[in-house]
Amino acid sequence: MAANSRVTIAAHALAWLELARQRGRPWLTSDEVAASVKTNPVILRRSLGDLHKAGLVRSRRGAGAGFSLARPAEEITMLDVWNAVSPEPLLALHRTEPNQECPVGAGIKPALTDTYDEATEAFRAALARRTIAGILEKILNS
C-alpha cells in the first residue's frame, strides 16, 4: 500500500506561500509553487484547488494571477490541511464484509473499531497542535 503524499504536498505549498508572503510576494503562481514542490503543476493545482475549497488559500485570475494564504499561517493547522486534501480515513476496515461464519471474520470489525477510533483521534490531535507557521519555522531553523 502506497503512502499518501497529498498532505505533504499541500503543507509544502502552504509553507512556500507563507515564506513568499514574508519576503514581500503575497501571490505565487501554481507553476512557482510546483517548482518548489518539484511536481507537475497539474497535480499542484489540484491540491491548491482542495485548499481553496477549504478556505485555506485564495486565488485570483488575470494580471497578477496566483495563490495566497487565505488566513494567517499561525491559524492554519495541519489538521486543516489533512481535512482539506485527504478525504480517506486514516485506518479503514475491510472493503468487503468478511466471512461472518468465521469467528475472526465475525468479530474483527467490532474489535478494531475502538482501536482505530482511538488512533485516529490521537493522530488528529497531533495535527491540530501543528501550524503552517510552526512548520515553516522548523524548516528555516533546520
Mean of the per-residue pLDDT values of the chain = 93
| pLDDT grade for 63, boundaries at 50, 70 and 90 | confident
Number of domains in the chain: 1
Residue 53 lies in a domain: yes
Burial of 61-97, coded b for 16+ CB within 10 Å and e otherwise, reads: eeeeebbbbbeebeebbbbbbbbbbeeeeeeeeeeee
Residue 101 lies in a domain: no
Mean pLDDT on 70-99? 91
* C-alpha to C-alpha distance for 122 and 54, rounded to whole angstroms: 22
Residue 119 lies in a domain: no
Residue type, 115: T
pLDDT of residue 62: 85
Q: Output the pTM of the full model.
A: 0.89
* C-alpha to C-alpha distance for 5 and 14, rounded to whole angstroms: 14
Name the residue range of residue 70's domain.
6-89+131-140
Q: Is the pLDDT of residue 48 over 50?
A: yes
| CATH code of the domain containing 37 | 1.10.10.10
pLDDT of residue 2: 52
Q: Nearest Cα to 86, choosing from 12, 6, 1, 14?
A: 6
Sign of CA dihedral 84, 85, 90, 94: positive
Q: Is the pLDDT of residue 1 over 50?
A: no
- Give the CA diameter of the chain: 65
Residue 54 lies in a domain: yes
Q: Nearest Cα to 18, choosing from 63, 79, 74?
A: 74
Residue 55 lies in a domain: yes
Mind listing the pLDDT tens digit for each residue in 100-132?
999 999 999 999 999 999 999 999 999 999 999
